Structures are given as C-alpha cells and as structure tokens.
Amino acid sequence: MNTSVKPHPAENPYPVLRPLHGHPLRFISLNREMIGLDTHYGDCGTYMCPGEEKCAACRRGEPKRWNGYLVGKSEVNDKIAICHITAAAGVQLDFHYEKPRGFMGARIILKRSGPAMNSPVEAMIYGWVDDVVPVTREKSVEIIARLYRKLINTKDGERFA
C-alpha cells in the first residue's frame, strides 16, 4: 500500500490512504459496507457537515462533498489502513455490491487519473477473498469519525474543536 496525505492530523491507529497518480491503491476490504459522510472545506481543513439545519456552510449555499471509506488490508504485507473513496469511485464500487456479503473480502483497486490530488479516481473489484477478519461497522464509524475535526459554534463564531 502506498501512503498518501492524511485529511487531518488525528489520533488514529491506521493511516489514511489515497491512490496517487501512477501508483494504484490495492487492498482487500474488511468492511461489508462503505462508510460515507458529507463534508465541507473551510478554515484550512475538512470537517463533517453537522446537517443542513445546524450547518453555517449549508446555509451559505456551499456544496457538500461526500467522502467514503473502507477499512482494508494490503495483500502484500497484511497492514491495515483506512482507504479513502471518492464519490465517483463509490458509485463505481456500489455497482458491484452483493448482499449479504457486501464488500467484505473484495479485492479493490483505486486508480487516480491525473497528477492533482483532486483528479478523478476509478475503482474496480478484481476478485474476492473468503478468509478475512471483518472490522465491524461500529468500529469503522468510530475510527473514521476521529479523522475529522468538529466545527463548533462559539460566541466569537465558528472554530474547530
């Protein structure tokens, strides 16, 4: 697995990986389903959208950006990481979602089409592995929630906690 930029510094047991141009990210999914959330970018950081009724960015008309994640492991060295899935790649993966298995054990490859970190990412499933130890949805949500700083309102305005 190639290591890439983390969305934010965070106390997290696993690195966050994104594919780099010319360096596809290959992993085996340890989750049945993708964990996705809406975010905004501001104040030099990405933060979770707290919901339209509570979100100043939504009230200003700023668009949300969906980010998806799967906990995966490398086929080469069994290292576990959080794999970032773009919205377009998430749609491509959803096409291959199988019940009741979901993405559990899916061999996934993510490829970035250009050198910029916001270049489109393609996703493919190229096989399945049956003997994987799953990471529960609850544990995955807990891990991924720690990636993002929380935007809180104070008497002086909004700030990150």
Digit-by-digit pLDDT tens for the chain (161 residues) are: 434 434 444 566 788 899 999 999 999 999 999 999 898 887 667 788 888 888 888 999 999 999 999 999 998 888 999 999 999 999 999 988 888 889 999 999 999 999 998 899 999 999 999 999 999 999 998 888 777 766 555 555 555 55
Would 32 be classed as within a structural domain?
yes
How many domains, in total, are found in the chain?
A: 1
Helix, strand and coil in the chain, % to nearest 5: 15, 40, 50
What is the model's pLDDT at position 159? Answer: 53
Which structural domain range is residue 144 located in? 16-160
Would 11 be classed as within a structural domain?
no
Would 145 be classed as within a structural domain?
yes
Q: Answer whether 93's CB lies under 8 Å from 107's CB.
A: no
Would 38 be classed as within a structural domain?
yes
CA distances from 47 to 13, 18, 58 (A): 20, 18, 13
The label of the residue with tokens 């990412």 reads 121
Would 77 be classed as within a structural domain?
yes
What is the model's pLDDT at position 136? Answer: 92
Backbone angles phi, psi at 30, to 5 degrees: -105, 5
CA-atom Rg of the chain in angstroms:
16
Q: How far apart are CA 124 and CA 93, in angstroms?
A: 7
Burial degree of 128 (CB within 10 A; 0-12, 13-18, 19+): middle
Backbone angles phi, psi at 57, to 5 degrees: -65, -40
What is the model's pLDDT at position 68? Answer: 93
Would 7 be classed as within a structural domain?
no
What is the model's pLDDT at position 2? Answer: 39
What is the model's pLDDT at position 130? Answer: 92
Would 8 be classed as within a structural domain?
no
What is the model's pLDDT at position 81? Answer: 93
Would 3 be classed as within a structural domain?
no
Q: How far apart are CA 146 and CA 108, in angstroms?
A: 24
